[in-house]
Every structure is written in C-alpha cells, then in structure tokens.
C-alpha cells in the first residue's frame, strides 16, 4: 500500500511538472492525463472508489479529450518557449511551492489519527448502500435541491454555448 | 462444505507457501487474459470466414485444417515484418499510440464475472478477477480512455487522412458514450447497484434476462457499443473509401497489429458486456446455478419467509456456466461480424445526427418510462420477480416497437408490410410503359383496368 501510494504520488507530481515543462502542447496534455490518473489511483488507495472512477470518466475521459480536440484543431505548430520562463516567474513559483509545503508539513507529520465520527458514518453508509449508493443516497434526498440547481446551471451553460456558437440566431 | 471466500495458504509441491487469494487471483488473470487473446485471434479468423460465407467465397483455408492456424501465421508475419516510421511523424507519440489503444481494450475484462463461483478446498473462488465496488463505472472509465490511443495515432502520423480519422473517432466515441451510459442506467435502476456480479444476481432473481424487461435499453446499448468499437456501420474513423484506413494508415507490422488486436479486443469486451448486462451473464435458465455473496455468505436465493438459502456451488456448475457465458459472448461476436458484412456505412453527419438527435433523447425518455414503471410497481407492492419483469417487458415492448416504427419512417417495416401493393404498382407501371410503346389495342386494355 505504501509503495503504491509513493508510486501514484510520484506519478502525480512528475506529471504536474511535465505539464508545465513539456514543449509540445499534446505532450503537456498527456502529462495532465497522467496526473489525473495517478490522483484516481490515490483515491482508490483511500477507498474512495466512486471518486476515482468519476475522476477518470469526467476529467481524463471527457474534459481532457475535448482539450486534445481543441489543441489539435488549433494546430499549434510553433512552440511557446519564451512564455512564463523568466527568472522572476521561477522565483515566484518556487516561493509559492515552498510556502504551500511549509503550511502542509505540520499537518502531515503527525501520527495517524483515529477515524473521526465522519469516517465512521461514511463506513456505515458504504456498508449499507455500497460505494456508489453512499454518495447517491444523500445527493438525491438531503441535497436534492442544490443538486438540481447545479444541473440547471450546467444546462444554462450548454444553451449559452450553443447560442454563442450558432452563426444565425 | 465451507461456503466462505477463499482464504489461507496454498502449499505448492510441498515447498512454496503462498496466500490462496493471491494465488487464485494470478491464476484468474493469467487464464482470462489467455482466453481473451485467443478469442481475439480467432475472432479475426471468424470474421474472414464468415465474410467469405456471406459473400459466397471460401476465405482463408490453406493454413492447417479449415485454415484454423491462419491467426498464428498472421501473428508470425506481423512480428517479422519491417516496421516503418514516417519521416514527419512525431516519434514518441507514434510509438505510444498503439500501447494506449491496446491497454484499455483488454483491462476491462477484469470486472466481468465469467462463471458461477468455484468451490475449492480453500474456500469459494469468485470467477471474476476483481469484483470492485464501482463495477460498470470502471468499464466506462477505461472505455473513455480508449480515445487517446486512436486520436494520438492519427495525430502523430502527420498524415491528413490519419488525422481526420482520429478526430472522427474521438467525436464519435465521446458522442455515443452518452447514449451508452444512459442505457446502462436503466440496468442500474433495476439492480440498485453498479457491480456486475449483482447485475447477474438480480437477473437470476427476476427470473428473466434484462434483454426482455429493458428491451429498448438493450437495443440502444448494442447500437452505442457498435459506435464505441468503431465497427461498421459506424466505422467512420477508418472508412477506407474516404480516409485510406483512417488513424492507422501509417502503421505497419506489429504496431498495426496492435490496433487490430485492440479493435477485436473491444469487440470481445463489448460482447461480454452485452451478455452480462442483458443476457444474464453466466446465468443459465433455472435456479440451480444461482449464487451471490450476501452479508458474507454465498446464497442461492431466498426462502418464502425471506431468509437466505445457501448456494450449492460445484465444479461442473462453474464449467457449465462458463460455457454458457462463452456461448453468449460468441453469439454477440457473430452479430458484430454479421452486421459488418450486411449493412453499408453511414455518412458522417448521419452518425452524429443519430447519436445526438435520436439516441440521446430516446434513452432519456426511456429512462423516465422505466423509472416511472418501477416507481408504480414499487408503490403497488409488486414483489421483485417474474410478474414484475412481465409488466416491464410489456411497457418496454411498446416503447421499443414505437421507437423502431418511428425511426423506420415507413421505409423498411411498412414497406415490407405493403409488399403486394407495391408489386401491383410496379406491374401497372410496366404495363403503362408497354402501352406507351405499343399500339391502340394495348391502350384500350389499359383503360379497361
């Protein structure tokens, strides 16, 4: 388990570095897919199976394919080497990374905490409804109104995109 | 007999001791992978023989008896052939694409249960490599990753036909994934869970396979699966009359072979999925083979008072159900080949219009219908069983019939029903033509009609 965690964590970080370092936009995109897949792997290790599956289906399978589509249709022949590669940017980005790592370090250095009441409740829900049902049950009962509103928001976005893309309205 | 999951250690030849669960898992991976690869090889052979039969030819019959060794000869040929690399291709992605296309088509088999559980001295072994809790979502996840290999292959070749093929493939696969997912939701509504083992179990409990109570979902799933696997009539990405052979135009030897293996691997997986979701998976008629892990024990059903009844797994039952599963999968493979050599190819805009304007609204409407019917049945307190299935079969049957009637637009079905009338019409046209060319007596004969 520990080995798998380091494998996926390494892949995720390596992929994330690859996204910004790759010269080819398609290569950059594939690094991004690697990161997303590795994150799905860590989700599985956390026993969040549903989240892992959705991560792959939605992000790696749908959104990144659309990105790939756009990159290929734009046909970016030349490489944007000069973008965001100045000295000031690298100082800024390394400073940011250091700050985030510094903030996170005290949180992860402690011993493994005992599962809290939330974790116990989640385990009980999974035992009762299964990995998918544990999320679906509250989503379609307690939180059904916010869920439906989110759905309408997405519908509005789709209609807006079609109206913008359509030539003769 | 101990009816519990496999556990403990296995001692091999009195020397090595390994965990029984790990041992059986490796065995299942090895066995299933070999079976799938051999099935893929013989699916190519079957395709050539069946197409030959349909076109009144002989097909490959030189290598071995009935040409049965042809796939092996093809494999050796593809390994020994020269690999070509187009000068302008991006080398890394060009080599990566066949790998990316091959992996998703083969790993999907891991969650499909292939037979009834097998009893061993170490406990009962499930005949599925990994019965993971997300089940069918795992299948959808990997089928959505299959796009990358195809698109990258087309793009990296730096050939405009290959590129167009790749773009078509991605657009088509993304479009039909929607209808595919929505048709699966009908099955999930029936089973109440997403694991494939539970889907098989619920079909055993219902007393009928989901192809009947969810007939329209079955049709939509089969059509979308055809589009997902890029098979005729949806093989736009490799339409040879327009795009040479599409995304794998520039590939040769074993890399081309990888694309072919993945196409047939997708077919085998899709056939196995159709069999599992809609034809009961490994279930055979009768209740003798039912088995499911329910609250830690393997049960074969419920008694009248609702208490679980223990299952009776046996090696011969595992064997028989495995053969049944194989027969169902082989049937769908045959349907794949049969349709390929029967139907002509769609036009590209027709593929897109069918996906977005027909399949998507139909599957959404059908979901409402199935959901409503299930709700009414639950409210009326109809027990989940054969009668429950019959009601759904009737409702779905009407939906399927009207769907086919409307999509047909009076061409095939009503055309065939109006057969004699059409013939009369043709005859009268012929007579008219005769009359025009002939002299006066024929004209009087026509006016007498």
Quote the pLDDT of residue B314: 81
* Nearest partner of B97 among B142, B144, B152, B48, judged by Cα: B152
Residue B371 is encoded by which pair of tokens?
């959901």
- Omega cis (within 30) before B19: no
Q: How many CB pairs under 8 A join A and B?
A: 76
Q: Are residues B436 and B341 in the same domain?
A: no
- Answer whether B155 sits within 8 Å of A33, measured CB to CB: no
ipTM above 0.85, yes or no: no
Quote the pLDDT of residue B449: 43
In contact, B366 and B406? CB cutoff 8 Å? no
Quote the pLDDT of residue B1: 47
Quote the pLDDT of residue A145: 93
Transcribe A115-150 into DSSP letters: P-HHHHHHHHHHHHHHHHHHHHHHHHTTTHHHHHHH
Instruction: Spell out which chain B residues touch chain A, with contact meaning CB-CB distance below 8 angstroms.
Output: 90, 92-93, 132-134, 137-138, 140-142, 144-145, 147-148, 151-152, 155, 163, 166-167, 170-171, 174, 177, 192-195
The predicted model scores a pTM of: 0.82
The rounded Cα B126 to chain-centroid distance in angstroms is 23
Chain B nearest CA to A29, separation (Å): 11
Q: Is residue B47 a part of any domain in this protein? A: no
| Residue B301 host element (H or E) | strand B297-302
Q: Mean pLDDT over residues B243-262, rounded?
A: 82
Sheet with B292-294, strands from edge to edge, namely B292-294, B297-302, B308-310
Give the largest CA-CA distance in chain A. Answer: 63
Q: Is residue B329 a part of any domain in this protein? A: yes
Range(s) of the domain holding residue B441: 425-449
The helix/strand/coil state of B441 is: helix
Segments of chain A with pLDDT less than 70: 1, 75-86, 108-115, 168-169
- Answer whether A56 sits within 8 Å of B151, measured CB to CB: no
In contact, B225 and B64? CB cutoff 8 Å? no
Count of domains for chain B: 2
Average pLDDT value over all residues in chain B:
82
The helix/strand/coil state of B120 is: strand
Neighbouring CB atoms inside 10 A of B40's CB total 23
Q: Which of A34-38, B179-183, B378-382 has the lowest mean pLDDT?
A: B378-382
Instruction: Spell out which chain A residues touch chain B, with contact meaning CB-CB distance below 8 angstroms.
Output: 24, 26-27, 30, 33, 49-50, 52-54, 56-57, 60-62, 65-66, 68-69, 72-73, 126, 130-133
Quote the pLDDT of residue B209: 87
In contact, B397 and B215? CB cutoff 8 Å? yes
Q: Is residue B14 a part of any domain in this protein? A: no
Q: Are residues B351 and B444 in the same domain?
A: no
- When CB atoms are compared, the residue of A61, A72, A132 closest to B144 is A61
Q: Are residues B448 and B299 in the same domain?
A: no
Q: Are residues B129 and B234 in the same domain?
A: yes
In contact, B276 and B200? CB cutoff 8 Å? yes
- The string of pLDDT tens digits covering residues B274-296 is 999 998 888 888 777 788 887 77
Q: Are residues B386 and B272 in the same domain?
A: yes
The helix/strand/coil state of B10 is: strand
Chain A nearest CA to B343, separation (Å): 30
Q: Are residues B401 and B447 in the same domain?
A: no
Residue A145 is encoded by which pair of tokens?
């109104």
Round to whole Å and give the CA distance between A142 and B436.
79
State which residue of chain A sits closest to B154, comparing Cα positions: A72
Quote the pLDDT of residue B142: 87
- Answer whether B144 sits within 8 Å of A62, measured CB to CB: yes
Quote the pLDDT of residue A1: 67
- Answer whether A132 sits within 8 Å of B167, measured CB to CB: no
Q: Are residues B182 and B284 in the same domain?
A: yes
Q: Are residues B268 and B372 in the same domain?
A: yes
Residue A86 is encoded by which pair of tokens?
């100045």
- The string of pLDDT tens digits covering residues B417-445 is 555 555 545 555 555 555 555 555 544 44
Round to whole Å and give the CA distance between A139 and A142.
6
- The string of pLDDT tens digits covering residues A96-108 is 988 988 888 777 6
Q: Are residues B397 and B447 in the same domain?
A: no
How would residue B92 be classed by pLDDT, with cut points 50, 70 and 90? confident
How would residue B446 be classed by pLDDT, with cut points 50, 70 and 90? very low
Round to whole Å and give the CA distance between A91 and A84.
11
Q: What percentage of chain A carries pLDDT values higher than 70?
A: 86
| Residue B11 host element (H or E) | strand B9-12
Q: Is residue B26 a part of any domain in this protein? A: no
Q: What percentage of chain B carries pLDDT values higher than 90?
A: 7
Q: Is residue B375 a part of any domain in this protein? A: yes
- The string of pLDDT tens digits covering residues B309-339 is 877 788 888 888 899 999 999 999 999 888 8
Q: Are residues B437 and B358 in the same domain?
A: no
Terminus-to-terminus CA distance in chain A, angstroms? Answer: 56
Q: Are residues B368 and B333 in the same domain?
A: yes
Quote the pLDDT of residue B431: 56
Quote the pLDDT of residue B280: 85
- Answer whether B151 sits within 8 Å of A65, measured CB to CB: yes
Q: Is residue B66 a part of any domain in this protein? A: no
- The string of pLDDT tens digits covering residues B16-71 is 778 888 888 888 899 989 999 999 989 989 888 888 888 888 888 888 888 888 88
Residue B387 is encoded by which pair of tokens?
């009668």
Q: Are residues B215 and B321 in the same domain?
A: yes
Please report, for residues B18, B139, B183, the alpha-carbon distance to residue B180 in angstroms, rounded to integers and kept in the order given.
41, 11, 5
Quote the pLDDT of residue B93: 84
* Nearest partner of B275 among B199, B343, B223, judged by Cα: B199
């Amino acid at each position: 388990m520990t080995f798998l965690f380091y494998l996926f964590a390494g892949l995720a970080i390596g992929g994330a570095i690859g996204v910004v370092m790759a010269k080819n936009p398609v290569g950059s995109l594939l690094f991004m897919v690697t990161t997303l897949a590795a994150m799905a792997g860590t989700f599985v290790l956390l026993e969040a199976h549903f989240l892992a599956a959705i991560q792959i289906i939605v992000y790696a399978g749908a959104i990144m394919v659309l990105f790939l589509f756009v990159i290929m249709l734009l046909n970016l022949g030349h490489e944007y080497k000069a973008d965001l590669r100045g000295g000031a940017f690298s100082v800024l980005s390394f400073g940011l990374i250091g700050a985030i790592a510094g903030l996170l370090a005290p949180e992860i250095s402690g011993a493994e905490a005992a599962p809290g009441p939330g974790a116990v409740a989640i385990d009980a829900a999974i035992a009762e409804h299964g990995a998918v049902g544990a999320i679906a049950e509250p989503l379609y009962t307690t939180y059904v109104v916010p869920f439906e509103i989110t759905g309408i928001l997405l519908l509005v976005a789709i209609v807006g995109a079609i109206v913008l893309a359509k030539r003769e309205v | 007999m101990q009816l519990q999951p496999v556990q403990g250690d296995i001692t091999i030849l009195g020397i090595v001791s390994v965990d029984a669960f790990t041992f059986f898992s490796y065995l299942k991976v090895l066995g299933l992978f070999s079976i799938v690869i051999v099935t893929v090889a013989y699916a190519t052979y079957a395709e050539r023989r069946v197409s030959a039969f349909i076109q009144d030819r002989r097909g490959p019959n030189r290598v071995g008896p009935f040409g049965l060794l042809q796939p092996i000869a093809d494999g050796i040929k593809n390994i020994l052939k020269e690999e070509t690399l187009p000068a302008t291709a991006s080398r890394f992605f060009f080599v990566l694409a066949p790998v990316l296309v091959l992996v998703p088509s083969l790993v999907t088999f891991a969650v499909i249960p292939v037979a009834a559980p097998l009893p061993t001295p170490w406990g009962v072994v499930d005949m599925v490599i990994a019965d993971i809790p997300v089940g069918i979502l795992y299948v959808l996840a990997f089928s959505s990753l299959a796009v990358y290999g195809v698109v990258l292959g087309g793009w990296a070749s730096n050939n405009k036909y290959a590129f167009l093929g790749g773009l078509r493939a991605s657009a088509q696969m993304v479009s039909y994934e929607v209808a595919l997912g929505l048709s699966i939701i009908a099955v999930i509504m029936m089973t109440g869970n997403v694991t494939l083992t539970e889907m098989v179990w619920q079909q055993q409990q219902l007393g009928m396979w989901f192809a009947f109570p969810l007939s329209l979902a079955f049709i939509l799933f089969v059509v979308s699966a055809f589009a997902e696997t890029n098979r005729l009539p949806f093989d736009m990405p490799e339409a040879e009359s327009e795009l040479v052979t599409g995304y794998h135009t520039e590939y040769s030897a074993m890399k081309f072979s990888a694309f072919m293996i993945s196409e047939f691997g997708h077919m085998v997986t899709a056939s196995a999925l159709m069999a599992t979701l809609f034809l009961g998976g490994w279930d055979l008629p009768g209740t003798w083979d039912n088995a499911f892990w329910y609250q830690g024990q393997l049960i074969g059903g419920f008694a009248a008072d609702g208490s679980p009844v223990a299952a009776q797994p046996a090696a011969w039952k595992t064997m028989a159900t495995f053969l049944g599963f194989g027969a169902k999968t082989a049937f769908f493979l045959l349907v794949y080949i049969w349709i390929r050599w029967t139907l002509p190819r769609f036009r590209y805009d027709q593929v897109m219009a069918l996906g977005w304007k027909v399949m998507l609204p139909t599957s959404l409407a059908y979901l409402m219908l199935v959901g409503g019917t299930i709700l009414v049945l639950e409210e009326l307190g109809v027990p989940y069983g054969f009668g429950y299935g019959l009601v759904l079969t009737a409702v779905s049957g009407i939906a399927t019939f009207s769907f086919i009637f409307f999509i047909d637009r009076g061409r095939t079905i009503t055309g065939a029903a109006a057969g004699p009338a059409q013939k009369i019409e043709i005859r009268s046209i012929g007579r008219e033509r005769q009359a025009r060319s002939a002299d006066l007596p024929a004209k009087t004969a026509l006016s007498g009609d």
